[in-house]
């Protein structure tokens, strides 16, 4: 049978069933979809493909899903570090954004972020940033997959002046990408402390109508909880519950400082959570009870958060951090085993974004978002269990090839649709401009 692509690998971790590792298996891909996952000798008999890859000592995994980021902030990476969230935001990030955020900034920053993500095995990301139209077009041009956040905040930014304009422009962006194969949208009200009740309610109504997720930071810090108690008399999650926002369309990012009954509320509503361990650690925001949330039945995905608070977009590293921090928080070394953490970084993310029928595991019928990781390097020898190595020992430099919907976007670590030289040149122009302004005490 003549098909498009055939990939033979030493190991395949399909993601479903959980924890399965298949030795010497192959992926047969046609029209962007996985036709079959089968033993290599059978694949050789059954299929012929113009693109045939013999990947010895490689591991195939589903494309990683970064379920929370602010991609364009790659251009602000390392601008301000070692600060608590509110100081970092108010004194550094928001002033820099007021000064610099533009179509050009978002285009260049999103490209820089996508290049980094593809080179670390991420094929899909859930973004929240200004000029989502520009980000969406950059994603489409690169052939990557993303859910682009239609951002809403109470204050004016270069993207919009007020809630009306944020929602109006958001709806226009939604229309631009309606039925796009790779780019989807979600409403993205920034956080309970930065969006008032009225725009939150409108967001919820519109999200229901369009059947898209609501992507929002919730319970990031203790300060946020204190502020909510002062201004609204209830904790942030309770406020969202009263606004009827805690539902299967809620993608709640961070979820630190939760109480037991709040975990139950999320579980019973079928809401999704996104854990961003490195951002939580770096900003010392607080701990997320990932193990308890998972046991209660909350679908927990994984994100890096923006590259200015992490400071990378490396989901391979984020998996290791999530596993280790999760064990410490649960006080249990058996909590968050490698298989569960990989699921957080793949299928659970797809589920949160409502696209788990299409991506998130290597299964016949799904779109072929696939990553080949080279296990033959010094750092991962010998190989007893490739799943263990993937989470506990692999570096992102071992990501060798990446496909999105059957199209190869990374070949031998070289990007095929993004221009590395131009991305570097733009980043190197932005850096000195932004730094000069910041040290002059902008905005």
CB of 303 to Zn ion, least distance (A): 8
| Residue (30 or 65) nearer to Zn ion, CB | 65
d(CA 356, CA 360): 6
**Residue number of the CB atom closest to Zn ion:** 305
Which pair of tokens denotes residue 58? 């490689």
106 phi, psi to nearest 5 deg: -65, -40
In the complex, the smallest distance separating the C-beta of residue 302 from Zn ion, rounded to whole angstroms, is: 13
Window 31 to 70, contacts with Zn ion (CB under 5 A): none
* Nearest residue (CB) to Zn ion, 108 versus 305: 305
Q: Which is nearer to Zn ion, 48 or 90 (CB)?
A: 90
Task: Rank residues 111 and 310 by Cβ distance to Zn ion and give the closer one.
Answer: 310
Least distance from C-beta 399 to Zn ion, angstroms?
24
Nearer to Zn ion, 14 or 307 (CB): 307
Rounded Cα distance, 344 and 294, in Å: 10
d(CA 3, CA 418): 26
Shortest approach of Zn ion to residue 301 CB, angstroms?
13
Q: x/- contact string, 295-334, with Zn ion (CB under 5 A)?
A: ----------x-----------------------------
**Closer residue to Zn ion (CB): 305 or 318:** 305
The Cα–Cα gap between 324 and 412 comes to 30
Quick check: 272 and 251 in contact, CB under 8 A? yes
97 forms part of the interface with Zn ion (CB under 5 A): no
Q: How far is the CB of 191 from Zn ion (least distance, A)?
A: 8
Between 129 and 403, name the residue whose CB sits nearer to Zn ion. Answer: 129
CB of 220 to Zn ion, least distance (A): 8
Residue closer to Zn ion, measured from CB, 97 or 305: 305
Closest CA to 283 of 150, 65, 92, 71: 92
Total chain residues near Zn ion (CB under 5 A): 1
Q: State the minimum distance, in angstroms, from the CB of residue 67 to Zn ion.
A: 11
Q: Rounded to the nearest whole angstrom, what is the least distance from the CB of residue 195 to Zn ion in the complex?
A: 14
User: What residues does 146 pair with on adjacent strands?
Assistant: 125, 183
Residues that bind Zn ion (CB under 5 A): 305
């Amino acid at each position: 049978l003549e098909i498009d692509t055939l990939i033979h690998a030493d190991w395949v971790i399909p993601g479903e069933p959980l924890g399965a590792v298949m030795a010497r298996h192959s992926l047969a891909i046609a029209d962007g979809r996985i036709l079959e996952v089968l033993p290599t000798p059978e694949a050789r008999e059954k299929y012929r493909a113009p693109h045939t890859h013999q990947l010895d000592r490689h591991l195939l995994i589903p494309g990683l899903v970064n379920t929370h980021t602010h991609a364009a902030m790659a251009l602000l990476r390392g601008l301000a570090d070692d600060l608590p969230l509110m100081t970092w935001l108010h004194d550094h990030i928001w002033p820099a954004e007021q000064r610099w955020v533009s179509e050009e900034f978002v285009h260049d920053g999103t490209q820089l972020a996508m290049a980094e993500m593809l080179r670390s095995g991420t094929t899909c990301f859930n973004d929240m940033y200004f000029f989502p139209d520009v980000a969406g077009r950059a994603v489409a041009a690169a052939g990557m997959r993303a859910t682009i956040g239609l951002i809403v905040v109470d204050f004016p930014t270069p993207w919009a002046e007020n809630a009306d304009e944020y929602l109006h422009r958001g709806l226009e962006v939604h229309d631009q990408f309606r039925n796009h194969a790779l780019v989807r949208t979600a409403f993205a009200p920034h956080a309970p402390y930065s969006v008032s009740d009225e725009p939150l309610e409108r967001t919820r109504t519109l999200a229901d109508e369009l059947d898209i997720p609501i992507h929002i930071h919730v319970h990031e810090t203790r300060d946020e909880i204190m502020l909510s108690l002062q201004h609204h008399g209830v904790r942030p999650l309770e406020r969202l519950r009263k606004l009827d926002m805690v539902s299967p369309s809620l993608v709640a990012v961070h979820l630190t400082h939760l109480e037991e009954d709040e975990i139950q509320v999320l579980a019973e509503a079928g809401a999704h959570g996104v854990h961003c361990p490195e951002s939580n650690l770096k900003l010392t925001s607080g701990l997320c009870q990932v193990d308890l949330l998972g046991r209660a039945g909350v679908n927990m995905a994984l994100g890096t958060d923006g590259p200015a608070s992490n400071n990378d977009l490396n989901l391979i590293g984020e998996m290791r951090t999530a596993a280790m921090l999760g064990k410490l928080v649960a006080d249990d070394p058996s909590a968050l085993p490698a298989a569960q953490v990989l699921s957080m970084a793949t299928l659970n993310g797809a589920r949160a974004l409502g696209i788990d029928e299409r991506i998130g595991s290597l299964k016949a019928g799904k779109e072929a978002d696939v990553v080949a990781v080279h296990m033959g390097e010094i750092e991962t020898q010998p190989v007893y269990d490739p799943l263990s190595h993937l989470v506990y020992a692999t570096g992102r430099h071992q990501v060798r090839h990446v496909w999105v919907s059957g199209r190869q976007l990374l070949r031998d670590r070289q990007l095929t649709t993004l221009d590395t030289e131009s991305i570097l040149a733009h980043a190197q122009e932005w850096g000195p401009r932004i730094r000069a302004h910041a040290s002059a005490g902008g905005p």
